[in-house]
Every structure is written in C-alpha cells, then in structure tokens.
Amino acid sequence: MAKDGTNRGGRRIRAGDKPEALADKIDKGKAATIIDLPTPALEGAELNDAADLTGEDMPNPSDYLSARQRDGKPLGADDLFRQTWKWLKDRGCERLVNPRLLEAYAQAFARYIQCEEAISTYGLLGKHPTTGGAITSPFVQMSQSFQKQANLLWYEIFDIVKQNCTTAFVGSPQDTMMEHLLQARKGK
C-alpha cells in the first residue's frame, strides 16, 4: 500500500499462463469443472423410444441489428447474430454467452463489413474538406477500429466456448463471415 492509502502494483491483468481448455483437461485426465446449468423438469405423457432432446429458442436479435442504413440496405448484423448463435448452439455453449455480447459482436463485424464495402466503392483516398488535397479515406480508420472491436468481442466469446466446451472442435463462424464479405465485394 502506498503512503496515500491506495493499493498499487500487483499482478497484471492477463499475466501468467493461459488457462487450459476444458476439452484438453478432460483428455489428459486432469480435474475439470463442467458448468452444469439446470434444465427444468417437465411433466407429460410417456413417449416410448423417443429421443432425449433439450431445446432452447434462439433469442430474437434486437431491431437495430437489421435497421435500414442510409443507402437503403439493411445492416445485416442480425444474420451474423443468428450464425454465431447457431455456432454456439452446436457446441452447447449458447446459454453461457450473454446475448448482448453477441449483439455487440455482430454489430461491430457488420460495421467492419460496411466500411470495407465503402473502401471498395470510394477508394483508399479522400479529399481534404478545406485544402482539397488527397488524404487517407476516413473509412480506412473506421474499418480498423471496427475490426479491432469485433476481434476483442470475438475473443471473449471464443474464450467462453474454449473454457466450457467438452468436445474438440474446429472452424469458426468468422470463416463464413469473411466469405460473406468477399461475396458482397464480388456481387458489385
């Protein structure tokens, strides 16, 4: 403790060894804690030879994710939300990730795609408003900012999946989103 009464120093955030994925701990036979969320018991008729399925409805994405933009096109973040939620559902982690985190990720990635489309349309250079000289397009800076924000949010989501998924998996919904970006560029 410092003379002024404040606590300083200590362990830096994210310092040290990274935690091992749950699937890897289980494979190695180490002690692992699996988060088991309670499922409600339902009463009903006896169904012989019926599959034991648990289902959960996908939360509806907020309206602002599909709002019409100035050019008349929808933002498209609602599609990214649905794709990411389906990816989480396939891994059994959809209940562990806050829907607001998914919405923030989908919006940031959709804005990144929107900036990349603007760069493709208007180019990398712009005109200075007062001098008229060539400057870097503002869409480049915005694109980098939205990409950084989307990546940080994705790392949060992926970390939740990595720490709680009991089966090994490959692939990422970002792969299909990049395909979406490339298809949008090809369609013009």
Summarised one tens digit per residue, pLDDT across range 24-79 is: 888 888 888 777 777 787 777 676 666 665 655 778 888 888 888 888 888 889 99
Note the pTM of the prediction, 2 decimals: 0.62
- Three-class HEC string of 82-103: HHHHHHHHHCCCCCCCCHHHHH
Give the start-to-end residue ranges of the domains of the chain. Answer: 60-186
Distances, alpha carbon 34 to alpha carbons 21, 23, 25, 96, 166, in Å: 11, 10, 11, 12, 8
